[in-house]
Amino acid sequence: MSAAAGRDRPSGTTARTVAQAKVNLFLRVLAREADGYHQIETLFCRLELGDDVAVRVGSGGRSLDCAGVALPPEGLGPVERNLAWRAATLYADTTGWPNDWSIQITKRIPVGGGLGGGSADAGAVLRCLNRLAPSPLSDRELVALAAPLGADVPFLATGDSLALGWGRGERLLALPPLPGRAVTLVCFPFGVPTPDAYRWLDAREALAPRQAARLDIGALTTWVGIARLAHNDFEAVVAPRYPEVERALDELRASAARDPDTDTITLLAGSGATVFAVSSAPVEAMTMAHGTSVRLVHTRTASRVVAVNVSD
């Protein structure tokens, strides 16, 4: 029996939560390993922006339905490749439960921009299934189960709003949540293919292997301390290839420089293409070139993770 199995279990058949997006307040990509994967060193931070996720068991089949303002016109592709579907399948294959489920997702997180939308949905599905399960996994077991789904999924399967991550995202150290801050997202109508971003980084760093940094955990307890460490290795290879991204970074940083708030954090989100600023107040709107589909989204960092609610 897992550590969580002795808790009182809900009698309902449907679990709902919000799959909150994430940003990386710093992101270092370490050397490529023999199997082709990279280890990372990062500070994960959840946002209030999220997708609505509902999981129902005992539905008499297996289904996934997605809708919402952030759903691209072409949809999300084959269901077998969807991370939420893969999460449910992995949970069922690993635990032997459930036999059937239906998943409903209302998309609000921009797709493919480095905000972890698909990973957040997968983490939410795992949390929902674990809340409904007759013999739930422990928190540690759930994180281990999430690891094969991608580097963001383990964190997004936890109940933590801020955490250090290492390895392939499965090694996590939860940190105390910080006071909420305004977040401005500059969202483009395209994403940066993550395999390409890693390949560009490998080519750039071939002669200088990257090593893990020595972190002062105390510096991660304040926004001022985090701002001093804020960095994303992908920026050096993504921004020069995407002038719109480079311009967004420059404009947001110029806007921050005019503000007395000296601990504003402006970075590329994941491997891109979304650019974000975390500050004490929303940064002023940017003047983007005419004819673009750039969209500004305003949200906040999350000081808590939305709980899973169960009903019939």
Q: What is the CATH number of domain 14-175?
A: 3.30.230.10
According to the model, what pLDDT value does residue 36 have? 64
Residue 66 Ramachandran class (φ > 0 left, ψ -120 to 50 alpha, else beta): beta
Residue 303: pLDDT above 90?
Answer: yes
Catalytically active residues are 22, 152
Residue 296: pLDDT above 60?
Answer: yes
- For the stretch 5-47, pLDDT in tens is 334 455 579 999 999 999 999 999 886 666 667 788 999 999 9
State percent of the chain over pLDDT 70: 85
According to the model, what pLDDT value does residue 5 have? 37
DSSP codes of every residue in 233-295: TTHHHHGGG-HHHHHHHHHHHHHHHTSS-TT-EEEE-TTSS-EEEEESSPPPPP-PPTT---E
According to the model, what pLDDT value does residue 168 have? 81
Residue 93: CB atoms within 10 Å: 8
Amino acid at the residue 115 = L
According to the model, what pLDDT value does residue 284 have? 66
Helix (H, G, I), strand (E, B) or coil at 24: strand
Q: Which of 2, 298, 311 is nearest to 140 (CA)?
A: 2
CATH 3.30.70.890 in the chain, residue ranges: 182-300
What secondary structure letter does DSSP report for 63?
Answer: E
Residue 154: pLDDT above 50?
Answer: yes
- For the stretch 46-95, pLDDT in tens is 999 999 999 999 878 999 999 887 777 666 677 888 999 999 999 999 99
Average pLDDT, the chain: 87
CATH superfamily of 182-300: GHMP kinase, C-terminal domain (3.30.70.890)
C-alpha–C-alpha distance, residues 269 and 280, integer Å: 19
CATH 3.30.230.10 in the chain, residue ranges: 14-175
According to the model, what pLDDT value does residue 207 have? 45
Tell the burial category of 281 from Cβ atoms under 10 Å away from its Cβ (0-12, 13-18, 19+). Answer: exposed
According to the model, what pLDDT value does residue 203 have? 84
Tell me the pairing of strands 265-268 and 171-174.
unpaired
According to the model, what pLDDT value does residue 155 have? 98
Q: How confident is the model at residue 112 (pLDDT cuts 50, 70, 90)?
A: confident
Residue 276: CB atoms within 10 Å: 28
- For the stretch 245-288, pLDDT in tens is 999 999 888 887 776 666 899 999 999 899 999 998 777 655 55
Q: What is the mean pLDDT of residues 199-210?
A: 71
State percent of the chain over pLDDT 90: 64
